[in-house]
Structure 1
Amino acid sequence: MESRRVDDLEHPPRQSIRGRVAGDDECDPLLRSAQVANWLSVSKSTLVRWRKSGHGPEVLWLSEDLPRYRTSDVQRWLRSRAS
């Protein structure tokens, strides 16, 4: 996997954002597991492991087997890991 700077990790991949959730001031894009794994440069299985252990970004369950991640939650998680 390629190494990435923290600055690069602050911004999600633009071409892969589809879902949006209305927030107070702006829309917060929803990302699929594969998109978040790609953004963080980890495998999907690592993301699943983090999700199960409670160590990864906060997950939003749209249904029993449909996890999504708010872009702002992933960014917040990244900032907490960098400090």
Structure 2
Amino acid sequence: MPTRQRRKAIMNHEEELLKPREVAAMLRISLPTLARWRQHGRGPHCIRLGYNHVVYRAGDVEHWITQRDHR
């Protein structure tokens, strides 16, 4: 895949919006734990699209995971 197309594919993936259920599955935690982290300002950055509608950018979740990798 040419570099330009690869870069565009990476950008599209980073901008992909994930539901809390998907993020909880990625992190192998429960939905209530993810909600608690969100309430206390922990966990990956979320985007509120409405009163009861929260999504996460895939790139933000991956960045958050990478920041916690203490190898």
Task: Name the TM-score class by shorter chain.
Answer: 0.7 to 0.9
> What TM-score, normalized by structure 1, do the two folds share?
0.67
* Structure whose residues are more often helix by fraction: 2
CA distance in 2, matches of 1:29, 1:45: 23
Instruction: Kindly tell me the number of residue pairs found equivalent between the two proteins.
Output: 59
**Bigger relative CO (Cα 8 Å, ≥ 6 apart):** 2
Residue 70 (structure 1) aligned with residue 60 (structure 2): no
Mind listing any 5+ residue stretches in structure 2 that lack a counterpart? Answer: 1-7
Extract structure 1 runs of 4+ deviating beyond 2 A: none
Q: Report the CA distance between 1:39 and its aligned residue.
A: 0.6
Q: Report the CA distance between 1:46 and its aligned residue.
A: 0.4
> What TM-score, normalized by structure 2, do the two folds share?
0.78
The alignment's C-alpha RMSD in Å is 1.0
Q: Report the CA distance between 1:64 and its aligned residue.
A: 1.3
Alignment match, 1:32: 19
Q: Report the CA distance between 1:82 and its aligned residue.
A: 1.0
Q: Which amino acid aligns with 2:65?
A: L
CA distance in 2, matches of 1:53, 1:82: 21
3-state DSSP of counterpart to 1:55: coil
Looking at CA atoms only, which structure, 1 or 2, has the larger radius of gyration? 2
